[in-house]
Amino acid sequence: MSRREPIYLDHHATTPVDPRVLEAMLPFFSRDFGNPASHGHVFGWRAEAAVEQGRERLARAIGAADPREIVFTSGATESNNLALFGALRARSPARDHLVTVVTEHRAVLDPARVLEDQGFRVTRLRVDSRGLVDPEDLRAAVDGRTALVSVMAAHNEIGVLQPLAELAAIAHEAGAWFHTDAAQALGKVPLDVQELGVDLLSCTAHKLYGPKGVGALYLRGSRPRVRLVPILHGGGHERGLRSGTLPVPLIVGFGRAAEIATLEREAEARRLRELRERLFRGLSARLGGVHLNGDPERRLPGNLNVWLEGIRADELIAAMPDVAVSTGSACTSASGEPSHVLAALGLPRERVLGSIRIGLGRFTTAEEVDRAVERIAEEVVRRRALTAVR
């Protein structure tokens, strides 16, 4: 009997590069290897043209009015840092207040803490038991000194989709800019910066079947025109906002990945919802005590975050190396700390420690879902029995 491959169900952590994306990238590692800032010869021209095509594709994917509103970075973490530090420093001292949410990714929460240490005011909004922000809480938090409101579009742990358009409108009423970390949302749910009223948007390629090491920050070019203070200096690349030689192959891959995800989004979302329901029904049928975390409707198609009663999630995951799931964000999983996100929902410690995050993706099959159900259920039953014996 041949050994089966492990099942990958952690697509919120990262995704494999789509073969179509890899194919687009390959020439720019060898044949078309030029520096896009080299304007004196054909090698530079080809590289620059490839970068601009990637910029245009990404702009179309988010509904940007002008491709020049896209600034390439090393990933969503850098984009978030540039958005927060850049906006607060650009708008102070007249506006020195940041509003964000307690369930944000560490790539927003940590810069917010640093800004607070530097003398800026930071307000962290709470969420309800489903993980949603109450727009009235934001209305009460903003004032005439609020520079920026930062709210994640789609949550990386519980998949919750925030009401961005309503929140952005409230921010604008106070004269604040609105930023969203859309790393998990891009290519998976409709995302149009014009319709939503988003002024800054962070994203990354490796969450949508593109390469690791490249991301982008969208900055609205008019009404309002967003101006940031850069956090990197040395060459004036990307209109002076992000110095450093551009990684042409990665940008080509990012653009192609965004293009594919946008074209296939609706059909893929339907397929993933069906697989997610198949997975949840399968676990519920095999096990008692299976509870959904987060909003049941306003969530990413491929996200399932569940509490499995009577087990510790970290022990369950360690016992199943053949099924890749997680307890939460890949960036914080190594710390061993309980999820700050589930705790913020007001869930008891037992539920926080007993919850797993499952992320379905483009190459996940129904057969893999059924195998995962069997394997997870088998291990949960075994671990519950061990607990009962103790």
State whether 143 and 64 are in the same domain.
yes
- Going across the sheet that includes 355-359, the strands are 290-292, 303-308, 355-359
pLDDT tens figures, 173-198: 999 999 999 999 999 999 999 999 99
| Average pLDDT of the chain, as a whole number | 95
46 and 127, same domain (yes or no): yes
And the tokens for 257?
Answer: 């990945």
Q: Which of 217, 234, 259 is the last residue of a domain?
A: 259
pLDDT at 3: 63
Calculate Rg over the CA atoms of the chain: 22
Q: Which whole-number Å values give the CA distances from 213 to 19, 171, 178, 205, 263, in the listed order? A: 18, 31, 25, 8, 23
pLDDT digits (tens, 9 = 90+) for 16-25: 999 999 999 9
* 2 inside domain: no
Tokens 């409709």: give the residue.
190
Q: How confident is the model at residue 47 (pLDDT cuts 50, 70, 90)?
A: very high
**Confidence band (pLDDT; 50, 70, 90) for 238?**
confident
User: Do 297 and 332 belong to one domain?
Assistant: yes
- The answer to the question of residue 89 being in a domain is yes
pLDDT value at residue 338: 79
pLDDT, mean of residues 297-302: 97
pLDDT-derived band of residue 329, with 50, 70 and 90 as boundaries?
Answer: low
Residues 6+ apart with CB under 8 A from 318: none
Residues 6+ apart with CB under 8 A from 36: 44, 47, 48, 50, 51, 246, 248
Domain boundary among 224, 259, 294: 259
Same domain, 247 and 322: no
Bridge partner list, 295: none
CATH number (domain holding residue 38)? 3.40.640.10
Q: Report the DSSP beta bridge partners of residue 101.
A: 125
Nearest to 286 by CA among 194, 206, 381, 186: 381
**279 shares its domain with 139:** no
pLDDT band per the 50, 70, 90 thresholds, residue 4: confident
Answer for the pair 193, 159: CB distance below 8 angstroms, yes or no. no
Span 263-283, average pLDDT: 98
Domain extent for 109: 19-259
184 and 95 share one domain: yes
Residue 311: half-sphere exposure toward Cβ, Cα within 13 Å: 28
- Could you tell me how far CA 308 lies from the centroid of its own chain? 25
Could you tell me if residue 180 is inside a domain? yes
Residue 216 pairs in a beta bridge with 72, 203
280 and 228 inside one domain: no
CATH of the domain at 374: 3.90.1150.10
User: Which residue among 102, 331, 343, 381 is the active-site one?
Assistant: 331
Same domain, 29 and 124: yes
Total count of domains within the chain: 2
Q: Does any domain span residue 1? A: no
Q: Which residue do the tokens 């962070």 mark?
A: 202
Among 242, 259, 276, the domain-final residue is 259
On whether residue 363 sits in a domain, the answer given is yes
Q: In this model, does residue 127 exceed pLDDT 70? A: yes
What is the CA 311 to chain-centroid distance, rounded? 28
Are 276 and 304 found together in one domain? yes
> Is 331 a known active-site residue?
yes
Mean pLDDT over 295-323 rounds to 96
Give the HSE-up count for residue 248: Cα atoms under 13 Å, Cβ half-sphere.
23
| 245 found inside a domain | yes
Q: Look at residue 192 and tell me if it is in a domain.
A: yes
245 with 274, same domain: the answer is: no
| Residue (of 215, 223, 163) closest to 55 by Cα position | 215
Do residues 196 and 167 share a domain?
yes
Same domain assignment for residues 195 and 286: no
Domain assignment present for residue 232? The answer is yes
Residue 252 CA to residue 258 CA, distance in Å, equals: 10
Query: How many other C-beta atoms lie within 10 A of the C-beta of residue 381?
Result: 14
